[in-house]
A and B are shown apart, each in its own frame.
Chain A
């Protein structure tokens, strides 16, 4: 087996260190929020996971477009790996939001635009995998997946905009008014927040690299198997 590239090993350790520091910052360094209490700490990972998920789907849509233009298989691999990771991060985003909502909104779930949009986004990319599974021919599979990832990525923000016409109770983070702000006060909270965004971006990058490597190895294994079988017969 091919040894892990040195840069990937460094990235592994860097990410692990970042996660450790991020946990420390979130749990001990960040001040206790005055109104919401400790549950507000979920916020740092909640927003970061949402960010990493959106980033992953953006990368998938861009790789899809690149595949359609260049026709290089590696872009399809990047797109698929990215969607897989994005689905996991979006799931974390939804679940952690639910944990926060239970004490704050007094319910696990509410039909708020952002919650609905996040769920629909998750469904789009689950459909993406079903589409991939349904196509045998690798070239066609890559083309269909690319088209669907572009369409899905454009459709999700449009869904958000159309539901946002209803009133929203979700805290607005950017451009917040007083009543619906996310409770971000003081430089310490900002430090922790920016740090956890960075950490999650690194986790995403590390996962992506590993997933791509896994994909390449399994494709090579497939070729070796074929060779072995043809020798035997």
Chain B
């Protein structure tokens, strides 16, 4: 439920092609999402509860005893984030589709790519908030220390790549007949190149590997993030066109 974002005077200010105007537009879209979320808190609470349930199911599936925890924690975390992420992405884009908010955004005299980056930043923010809550909970529940700066970096990078592709595909998925089921099917096979290095790097940090062994994964992750962001940036306008 997007509120009317800008008054006329604001639009005329942002119309300029300058970088500042562009950033303002992105900021306005991000702020719109935050404001909507602050009013009903639907998305974050849904993602959070869902993520917790996934963690619990894993507990029974894997019998997460001390020996297993060491090796499967990164897998459990990333599967949880990926599943909860699709929930959030779907909701975030369905929100634009309901009551034609997206048409309103498209009518605004702004660059389409600003719309994309605005949604990506908003989605990334929500995903990071959920992750920031899940990590300490997981730490407490399973007595694993997850407060590692390296792990935090990997999670930010992995979530970025995930959301960069996810926002693009969610925009398509909500415009189809099968809107709720289609997103994970479209997203998971394509986003694997981001998930694999993220998984490997998280695992390496949790098992305290040498930095020299971890860096290649981090580098791959950064490169893939950039590639996916660039592709999505280039094709996004074809996805929202009416």
Contact = CB atoms under 8 A, between A and B. Distances in A.
B193 A158 contact: yes
A127 to B, nearest CB: 5
Interface string A141-153: 0011011101110
Interface string A29-54: 00000000000000000000000000
B189 to A, nearest CB: 5
Given A123-B189, A127-B185, A150 B235 contact: yes
Contacts of A165: 200, 216-217
Residue among B179, B220, B238 having the largest count of chain A Cβ atoms under 10 Å? B238
A134 B239 contact: no
A131 B217 CA distance: 32
Contacts of A143: 238-239, 241
A156 to B, nearest CB: 9
B172 A131 contact: yes
A134 B176 contact: yes
A130 B175 CA distance: 13
Interface in B183-216: 185-186, 189-193, 196-197, 200, 216
Q: How many B residues are at the interface, by size bracket?
A: 20 to 34
Given A151-B190, A155-B190, A158-B224, A144 B235 contact: no
B29 interface: no
Interface string A51-91: 00000000000000000100000000000000000000000
Contacts of B241: 143
B82 interface: no
B3 interface: no
A10 B85 CA distance: 53
A169 B102 CA distance: 49
Given A143-B239, A154-B227, A135 B196 contact: no
A2 interface: no
Q: How many A residues are at the interface, by size bracket?
A: 20 to 34
Q: Is the interface of B mostly helix, strand, loop or mixed?
A: helix
Given A130-B178, A130-B185, A143-B238, A150 B231 contact: yes
B182 interface: yes
B177 interface: yes
B84 interface: no
Given A124-B189, A124-B190, A130 B196 contact: no
A147 B239 contact: yes
Interface in B146-192: 165, 168-169, 172, 175-179, 182, 185-186, 189-192
A136 interface: yes
A69 B3 CA distance: 34
A140 interface: yes
A158 B232 CA distance: 15
A159 interface: yes
Residue among A124, A134, A143, A150 having the largest count of chain B Cβ atoms under 10 Å? A134
A123 to B, nearest CB: 5
A126 B171 CA distance: 19
A230 interface: no
Residue among B169, B182, B190 having the largest count of chain A Cβ atoms under 10 Å? B190
A148 B231 CA distance: 11
Nearest to A120: B189
B197 A162 contact: yes
A135 B171 CA distance: 13
A115 interface: no
A130 B196 CA distance: 25
A163 interface: yes
Given A151-B231, A159-B193, A162-B220, A146 B186 contact: no
Given A151-B168, A151-B231, A159-B196, 9 more contacts: A68-B238, A131-B182, A134-B177, A140-B175, A143-B238, A150-B231, A154-B227, A158-B224, A162-B197
Q: Give the top 7 A-B pairs by smallest Cβ distance, nearest first.
A: A134-B176, A158-B193, A162-B196, A155-B190, A123-B189, A124-B189, A134-B178
